[in-house]
């Protein structure tokens, strides 16, 4: 070995993870090394650029930054960086700058991957640090995601502008103009102290006052929005974004208990939200026909890919995609009502499954139903609601949301029923559970009202929560069904793959990955009487009841997030390559990092299913 290489070898051998490396392996590393020199102040790695080397600092010092520009870490002689990007996507996640003149050894990616797969000490050093394996894999993503970590109060730039709800239309407009605001908060001053009771916006003045030619002396209370959507001052920017997406509002009062902290506008959040899902939702409501919605739907995959590139987590992506799907449904319902006339009786259009859970991705079908007012008379009213359901269902299909193969849509008369009939359905499912019936109705336990009298759906959620938590036989049967889908992990931690059909030598990351987690968490959530629908929110509710051990909740959250992120990245890569996205993955298409941590995640799911079986006495293949 040349003297120069011997010097490099001796230096590496003094520092982990190379200090415990077998000699022949270390020789392999040394013979592949390239040397680079960087002056103080120069950029070594820039965010998003390709990187094909593990970097080892021979001399000097560097600083690593988060995407926001915040200092992440400072490294010196004998330390490494760049491993996270090599494990994930060969792109730089943390920009690096030299703060001293620095000599860097560059270890090629193929050598890095060889060490990762063949040297356990190297693998442990790279992935573990001082956290658990899965927690370590996820924590870096969370830290680099500003909307997840910044509080909504960061967006408040001024004191709230308020007025009594007794002011007249012209006076309200004058106050808004004088203060230069697009929203005015209205207070009820009839009690001991003023309380927030409504909001009026520029848009309300145009659509509810000017278009209707209302007199200037009209009481503002006649046109204000009094069913207020608000957010807490402790909320994250991300949560405020979801609230706006979910409710299609452009202004959000921020509350600190009973005190008004301020108002944030959609434009404030857009500045912090680079994936443009809010832009897309805003455009959806401007479309005047199904053709316009269909054209706009072509942007959904692009929005999805942008969010993946920005390292958004699964909750952000699933919620944004569900918000977009809701918006298409809501606009189609508005267009349908314009075409058919106002509904003859009140109703609620209900989303089911992944949309209701805020976990929708780009590969999805439509699952929906209608809850009708109890005054509904089929002979008089059903022709209208069938026509409306068909208009919406056909429109969703045009926009890429395929028809449900199980016919769980509002076009099916069984799923277009009065509130009292829906209560009868849920009472029968919970009080007289049958395995086959529950298997087919499982999706109805993830429900959310998206248009019309959404209070009907809230009433159903309360009805289900009370009834389900008091029926051990129902919970045992639901748990039994949740055990039918198992993670694709063999006895020796090898992936179990499909052995025949079009998807041979693959495993399905939805059917064998995220779905088993959602299923078992749903059981625990119903057992503790929670009305939450989203899997992460259900886990939070479960954790508060101590139904399962605290570390079990954390492990399930990490496992679900990691499986979901791998599934999301798989679909995004397919879209970028011009292929039809799906949920079927070949192990060889995954990085070593993904393969290793997927096995960890599947192991967590397997253990959680064993606990589920024990907790509810849910023996598969046996009547309970």
Task: Tell me the domain boundaries of the chain.
Answer: 3-128, 472-616
C-beta atoms surrounding 286 within 10 Å: 9
Alpha-carbon span 86 to 585, nearest angstrom = 20
pLDDT of residue 275: 45
Q: Say if CB 589 and CB 451 are below 8 A apart.
A: no
pLDDT of residue 270: 66
Q: Write the CB contacts of 579 (distance below 8 Å, at least 6 apart in sequence).
A: none
SS percent in the chain: helix, strand, coil, step 5: 50, 15, 35
pLDDT of residue 273: 54
> pLDDT tens digits for 331-387?
999 999 999 999 999 999 999 999 999 999 988 889 999 999 999 999 999 999 999
Q: Which residues of 595-606 are buried (b: 16+ CB within 10 A; e: fewer)?
A: ebbbbbbbbbbe
- Name the average pLDDT for the chain: 87
Neighbour order of strands in the sheet with 34-38? 34-38, 102-108, 53-59, 80-81
Q: Say if CB 517 and CB 535 are below 8 A apart.
A: yes
> pLDDT tens digits for 465-507?
999 988 999 999 999 999 999 998 876 567 887 776 677 789 9
> pLDDT tens digits for 533-580?
999 999 999 998 888 877 889 899 999 999 999 999 999 999 988 899
Q: Which residues of 472-488 are buried (b: 16+ CB within 10 A; e: fewer)?
A: eebbbbbbbbbbebebb
The residue ranges of the chain whose pLDDT is under 50 are 129-132, 140, 143-144, 146-148, 274-275, 622-624
Alpha-carbon span 192 to 74, nearest angstrom = 56
| CATH label, 472-616, candidates 1.20.120, 1.10.540, 3.30.300, 3.40.190 | 1.20.120
| CATH label, 3-128, candidates 2.60.120.10, 2.40.37.10, 2.60.40.1510, 3.90.650.10 | 2.60.120.10
Is pTM beyond 0.85? Reply is no
From 594, 576, 615, 416, select the one nearest 495 (Cα to Cα): 594
pLDDT of residue 620: 55
């Amino acid at each position: 070995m040349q003297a120069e290489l011997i010097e490099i070898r001796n230096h590496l051998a003094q520092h982990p993870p190379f200090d415990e490396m077998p000699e022949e392996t270390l020789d392999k590393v040394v013979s592949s090394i390239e040397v680079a020199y960087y002056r103080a102040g120069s950029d070594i790695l820039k965010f998003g650029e390709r990187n094909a080397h593990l970097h080892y600092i021979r001399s000097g010092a560097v600083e690593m930054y988060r995407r926001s520009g915040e200092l992440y870490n400072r490294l010196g002689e004998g330390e490494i960086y760049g491993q996270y990007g090599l494990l994930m996507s060969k792109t730089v996640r943390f920009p690096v700058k030299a703060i001293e003149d620095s000599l860097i050894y560059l270890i090629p990616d193929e050598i890095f991957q060889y060490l990762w797969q063949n040297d356990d000490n190297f693998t442990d050093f790279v992935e573990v640090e001082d956290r658990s394996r899965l927690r370590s894999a996820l924590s870096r993503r969370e830290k680099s995601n500003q909307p997840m970590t910044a509080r909504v109060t960061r967006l408040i730039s001024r004191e709230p502008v308020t007025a009594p709800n007794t002011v007249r239309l012209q006076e309200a407009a004058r106050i808004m103009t004088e203060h230069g605001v697009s929203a005015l908060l209205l207070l009820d001053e009839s009690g001991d102290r003023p309380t927030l009771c409504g909001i009026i916006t520029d848009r309300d003045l145009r659509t509810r006052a000017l278009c209707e030619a209302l007199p200037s002396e009209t009481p503002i209370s006649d046109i204000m929005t009094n069913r207020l959507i608000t957010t807490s001052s402790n909320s994250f920017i991300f949560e405020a974004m979801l609230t706006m997406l979910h409710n299609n509002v452009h202004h959000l009062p921020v509350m600190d208990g009973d005190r008004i902290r301020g108002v944030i506008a959609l434009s404030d959040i857009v500045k912090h939200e680079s994936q443009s899902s809010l832009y897309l939702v805003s455009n959806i409501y401007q479309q005047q026909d199904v053709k316009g919605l269909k054209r706009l739907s072509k942007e959904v995959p692009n929005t999805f890919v942008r969010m993946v590139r920005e390292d958004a987590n699964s909750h952000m992506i699933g919620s944004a995609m569900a918000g977009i799907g809701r918006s298409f449904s809501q606009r189609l319902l508005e267009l349908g009502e314009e075409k058919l006339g106002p509904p003859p009786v009140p109703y609620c259009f209900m989303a089911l499954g992944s949309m209701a859970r805020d976990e929708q991705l780009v590969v999805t079908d439509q699952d929906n139903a209608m809850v009708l007012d109890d005054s509904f008379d089929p002979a008089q009213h059903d022709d209208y609601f069938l026509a409306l359901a068909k208009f919406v269902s056909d429109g969703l299909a045009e926009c890429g949301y395929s028809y449900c193969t199980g016919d769980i849509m509002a076009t099916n008369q069984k799923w277009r029923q009065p509130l009292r009939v829906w209560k009868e359905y849920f009472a029968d499912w919970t009080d007289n559970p049958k395995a086959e019936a529950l298997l087919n109705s499982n999706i109805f336990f993830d429900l959310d009202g998206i248009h019309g009298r959404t209070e009907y759906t809230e009433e159903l959620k309360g009805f289900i929560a009370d009834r389900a938590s008091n029926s051990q036989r129902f919970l045992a049967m639901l748990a039994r069904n949740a055990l039918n889908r198992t993670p694709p992990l063999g006895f020796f931690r090898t992936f179990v793959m499909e052995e025949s059909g079009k998807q041979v030598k693959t495993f399905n990351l939805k059917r064998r990955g995220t779905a088993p987690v959602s299923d078992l968490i749903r059981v625990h959530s119903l057992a503790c009487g929670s009305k939450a629908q989203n899997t992460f929110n259900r886990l939070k509710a479960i954790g508060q009841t101590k139904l399962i051990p605290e570390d079990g909740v954390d492990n399930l959250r990490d496992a679900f997030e990691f499986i979901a992120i791998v599934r999301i990245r798989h679909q995004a890569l397919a879209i970028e390559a011009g292929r039809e996205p799906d949920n079927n993955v070949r192990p060889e298409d995954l990085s070593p990092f993904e393969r290793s941590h997927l096995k960890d995640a599947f192991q967590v799911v397997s253990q959680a299913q064993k606990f589920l079986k024990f907790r509810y006495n849910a023996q598969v293949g046996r009547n309970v």
